[in-house]
């Protein structure tokens, strides 16, 4: 039997060679034991993590946490490479806590990371409306950001500092109002390396 489809004639696929098997006989990659378990009211973070699915990202997150703790116990460096969105969406307090606890021993970010970190430390706000700014020709034109970031970099260069250390020192020593939100200021204060890779991810 054939069917017309436009000008072509198609013939249904032959299913005679297909062999089926009982579902219960198959080894499946996901079973009920792997499902997430909702945390109970008042549960600790550990219970939440243990309740994540036992597959894919749930397993990856648990392995990462175990690897970080193992590295710390062995006195190994724990280096974090982050993009600017980690800062602009408000995760700095979490990373700052990890830095204070010794679970971050060095941090690397891209050039946009400096902007968000600096603006948060200086003004307690960041992340402009790109579309509106481009339309007015004002995107990236905040005076303090441009002037003071460049000043920090020039002053740091005179003292042989890289971008991360230069901006961190500037924010910490200049007592920026919200410097406690700055990853770079914290790195300077704690003596942790902070590097900035300007063209990565931009």
Per-residue pLDDT for the chain (202 aa), expressed as one digit of tens each?
555 556 678 888 888 889 999 999 999 988 898 898 888 899 898 898 889 998 999 999 999 999 999 999 999 999 999 999 999 999 999 999 999 999 999 999 999 999 999 999 998 888 876 776 677 776 777 788 889 999 999 999 999 999 999 999 999 999 889 999 999 999 999 999 999 999 876 5
18, 21, 26, 28 alpha-carbon torsion, rounded to 10°:
60
- What pLDDT is attached to residue 7? 66
- What pLDDT is attached to residue 173? 93
Specify the DSSP element, H or E, that contains 197: strand 194-197
- What pLDDT is attached to residue 159? 98
Topology annotation, domain 77-202: Deoxyhypusine Synthase (3.40.910)
- What pLDDT is attached to residue 113? 94
- The token pair at 177 is 């109002």
Q: Are 118 and 92 spatial neighbours (Cβ–Cβ below 8 Å)?
A: no
Dmax (CA) for the chain in angstroms is 83
The domain spans of the chain are 32-76, 77-202
Q: How far apart are CA 152 and CA 174, in angstroms?
A: 10
**Which CB contacts under 8 angstroms, 24+ apart, belong to 167-173?**
167/114, 167/117, 167/118, 167/196, 168/194, 171/118, 171/121, 171/122
Rounded to the nearest 10 degrees, what angle do helices 143-158 and 111-123 cross at? Answer: 110
């Amino acid at each position: 039997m054939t069917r017309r489809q436009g000008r072509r004639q198609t013939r249904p696929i032959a299913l005679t060679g297909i062999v089926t098997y009982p579902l219960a006989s198959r080894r499946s990659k996901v079973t009920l034991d792997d499902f997430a378990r909702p945390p109970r009211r008042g549960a600790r973070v550990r219970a939440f993590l243990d309740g994540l699915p036992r597959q894919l990202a749930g397993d990856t997150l648990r392995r990462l946490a175990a690897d970080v703790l193992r590295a710390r116990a062995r006195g190994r460096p724990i280096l974090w490479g982050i993009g600017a969105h980690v800062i602009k969406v408000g995760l700095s307090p979490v990373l700052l806590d990890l830095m204070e606890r010794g679970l971050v021993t060095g941090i690397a970010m891209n050039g946009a990371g400096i902007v968000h970190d600096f603006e948060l430390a200086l003004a307690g706000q960041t992340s402009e409306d790109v579309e509106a700014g481009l339309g007015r020709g004002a995107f990236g034109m905040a005076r303090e950001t441009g002037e003071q970031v460049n000043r920090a970099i020039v002053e740091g260069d005179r003292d042989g500092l890289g971008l991360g250390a230069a901006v961190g020192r500037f924010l910490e020593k200049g007592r920026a109002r919200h410097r406690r939100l700055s990853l770079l200021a914290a790195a300077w204060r704690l003596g942790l390396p902070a590097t900035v890779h300007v063209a990565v991810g931009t």
